[in-house]
Amino acid sequence: MLVHEVNSLSVQKSERRIATVGVVTVTYNSDRFFDEYLNALRAQTRMPDLVVIVDSGSTQTEFLDRTASYPGPIEVRLETNRGYCVGNNIGWRRVRDFDYILFLNPDAFIAPDFIERAVDYMETESKVGMVMPSLIRYDIERHEPLDAIDSTGVVRNWHGFPERDQSKPVKALTRYRGPNRIPWVCAAVVLCRREAINAVIEPGDQVFDESFFMYKDDTDVSWRIRRAGWHVIHHPGLLGYHCRGWQDRRSMSRSARILSVRNEIKMCWKNRSPFLIAILFKYVLVRCFDL
């Protein structure tokens, strides 16, 4: 009888359908990051079923030729620069029927067990719509991680503005005892469940709101997914690395800061935030006083 039970369990396990995973990456003049990006995908203990790279109008695209050495299925699409959101939507439409979609920036590198462990976690937690890792800041010039957290998600600070939990030393990650709910993800690395995405598709067949162009688009998607009843999770046991082009708001161009806060207003309006007035005040400060 014991042998029969063991054999029965083995059959059930072998017959369990293997979840499919698609990766979507939007590139823009991403040459200096691209080798490490591809190497991180090559090293995965659970390879994705398809990688879709959408180039958003790079001035030189020769770096994309290096995808020829990638061992798995990969597609490259050359597009004009219509923004990060449009690029992600183009890629997502190619993998929309996959069980999980990993949105992965070209300047973000995932640990070798990321896809395997993230999918295993999502398979056991049916209410999780999005999961992101602990992101560590990475120095692309020295090709090594820094002793600084890049992001463990986006939270609301004391005056109501969304901000990234970042710049603390890596040892600060020990405060986490396990996966924790967060308001919003940093979409440099985020694994999404197909059903959660399907619940928030907007007119025009958009996951990412293309009117944002870039900035705050990941916060908007996270907000919509939470409002649809799904959990948004930071998992400290998952790890990724991120090369951030700017270290704080003051290092961003004024036009980028204006676009960011304008999208914040739009995001708060769409998602019925009680902090809309505070964000309008922030816009005035940035627009009129360049703060």
14-71: pLDDT as tens digits: 456 799 999 999 999 999 999 999 999 999 999 999 999 999 999 999 999 999 999 9
Q: How does pLDDT run across 193-218, given as a tens digit for each residue?
A: 999 999 999 999 999 988 876 666 88
Q: Are strands 100-104 and 108-110 parallel, antiparallel or unpaired?
A: unpaired
Print the SS3 string covering 39-96: HHHHCCCCCCCEEEEEEECCCCCHHHHHHHHCCCCEEEEEECCCCHHHHHHHHHHHHC
| Torsion 272-278-281-282 (CA) sign | negative
Mean pLDDT, the chain, rounded, equals: 83
- Of the two residues 290 and 176, the one the predictor is more confident about is 176
**DSSP 3-state assignment of 222?**
helix
Residue 55 confidence (pLDDT): 97
Closest CA to 233 of 194, 181, 271: 181
**Quick check: 140 and 36 in contact, CB under 8 A?**
yes
Pairing of strands 162-164, 180-181: unpaired
Domain ranges of the chain: 16-245, 249-291
pLDDT tens for 89-98 read 999 999 999 9
| CATH class of segment(s) 16-245 | alpha beta
Query: In this structure, are residues 190 and 218 in contact, taking their beta carbons and an 8 Å threshold?
Result: yes
Quick one: average pLDDT of 152-180? 75
The 10s digit of each residue's pLDDT in 241-288 is 999 754 444 455 555 555 566 666 666 656 655 555 555 545 444 444
Q: Is the pLDDT of residue 291 over 60?
A: no
Average pLDDT over residues 116-131: 98
Nearest alpha-carbon partner for 37 in 85, 77, 69:
69
Q: Is the dihedral of CA 118, 29, 33, 152 positive or negative?
A: negative
